[in-house]
Amino acid sequence: MPTLKTKSSAKKRFRVTASGKIKRKHAFKNHILTKKETKRKRNLAKFAMVEKCDYPRVKSMLLV
């Protein structure tokens, strides 16, 4: 039986914390930043946690 591989796209986008939670980056921080407020850009730069309802989907991609 072949071994399963982690999805490369998920590997680049998510990190698992020591407590088992999954961190993610915010969207809308890549381009067209001139029209966005400084406060908004600063808050988008921070990490966020994946919602509980999305855990099974993300964990299956990461093989956690």
pLDDT of amino acid 51 = 97
pTM of structure:
0.81
Rounded to 5 degrees, what angle do the CA atoms 38, 16, 39 make?
5
Q: How many CB atoms lie within 10 A of CB 22?
A: 20
Q: Which two tokens stand for residue 30?
A: 């890549």
CATH of the domain at 27: 4.10.410.60
Tens-place pLDDT, residues 26-37: 999 999 999 999
Q: How confident is the model at residue 2 (pLDDT cuts 50, 70, 90)?
A: confident
| pLDDT (0 to 100) of residue 64 | 84
Taken in order 27, 60, 10, 55, the sign of the CA dihedral is: positive
Find the domain containing 44 and state its range: 8-62
Residue 48 lies in a domain: yes
In a domain, 49, yes or no: yes
